[in-house]
Amino acid sequence: MILTKLGHACVRLEQNGVTLVIDPGMFTEPEALAGVDAVLITHEHFDHFVEARLRAALEADPALHVWTNASVAAQLDGVRQRVTVVGEGDAFEVGSLGVTVHGEWHAVIHPDIPRVGNIGFTVDGRLFHPGDALTLPPHAVDTLLVPAGAPWSKASEMIDYVRAAGPGRAVAIHEAVLSDVGQQLYGRLLGEGGPGTGAPYRQLASGEQLDLG
């Protein structure tokens, strides 16, 4: 499986001729949706989902399909036959890739801000994308995508999250809200300069690829 890190919270996964993209939002390059078999959306916030871009991709490719939660699907009237609503405990396949769904709610930003639904995706039993929540995968995965910077998070929570999940490696996502200095700081705290998470930590530039084996 080849992982390509795209802008902010988005990754592209390719294996055995199957390609899927998770969370191509406003801070993701528009071409991220080109030539993919499926799009997985964790929740409705603009940094994870851009309705106009997704509609354009669906119109351009009649074979493209979307899996997401009910609140995102509700915004895709007119193309709902190309959208499957999934939630906690569901499973589906994209070609040869098996996907399971975990979690229900976005992390709390502030008690006065209403929470939205949020689901995470385990792909091929090997990689977990939690969206904007610290949902634990159903089992230890080879690769855990970690939302390193967000209005709702702090470094200590990220460290404890990786420790609790016990992955083979942790890869940063959701870092567009951090300055270059902030990314270096989080990289140090979650990496070798910090108290330890039990997993090696990687920060990838947009467009950089990682062979997951």
% of residues, the chain, pLDDT over 70: 100
pLDDT of residue 202: 97
Q: From residue 84, how far is each of 42, 72, 81 by CA, in Å?
A: 13, 10, 8
pLDDT of residue 30: 87
Contact 121, 100 (CB under 8 A): yes
pLDDT of residue 187: 94
- Residue 210 within a domain: no
- Residue 212 within a domain: no
Q: What is the mean pLDDT of residues 57-71?
A: 96
pLDDT of residue 80: 86
- Burial grade of 26 (CB within 10 A; 0-12, 13-18, 19 or more): middle
Q: What is the mean pLDDT of residues 171-196?
A: 95
- Residue 19 within a domain: yes
* pLDDT tens track for 111-121: 999 999 999 99
Q: Looking at the predicted structure, is the pLDDT value of residue 94 above 90?
A: yes
Residue 81: which domain range? 2-203
- Residue 7 within a domain: yes
* pLDDT tens track for 17-54: 999 999 999 999 989 999 999 999 999 999 999 999 99
Biggest CA pair distance of the chain: 50
pLDDT of residue 57: 96
Nearest to 25 by CA among 99, 114, 132: 132
Q: Looking at the predicted structure, is the pLDDT value of residue 199 above 90?
A: yes
**Residue 33 gets which letter from DSSP?**
G
Element (H, E) at 79: none
| CA dihedral of residues 156, 207, 199, 17 (deg, nearest 10) | 130
- Residue 28 within a domain: yes
Q: Looking at the predicted structure, is the pLDDT value of residue 82 above 90?
A: yes
- Residue 56 within a domain: yes
Predicted confidence band of residue 99 (pLDDT cuts 50, 70, 90): very high
In whole numbers, what is the pLDDT of the chain averaged over residues?
97
CATH number of the domain enclosing 70: 3.60.15.10
- Residue 213 within a domain: no
- Number of domains observed in the structure of the chain: 1
Predicted TM-score (pTM) of the model is 0.97
Nearest to 40 by CA among 11, 14, 66: 66
- Residue 111 within a domain: yes
Angle of helix 180-190 relative to helix 155-165, nearest 10 degrees, comes to 40
Q: From residue 143, how far is each of 62, 105, 181, 205 by CA, in Å?
A: 31, 22, 25, 17
Q: Which tokens in the block code for residue 66?
A: 């979307």
Q: Looking at the predicted structure, is the pLDDT value of residue 88 above 90?
A: yes
pLDDT of residue 143: 98
Contact 97, 91 (CB under 8 A): no
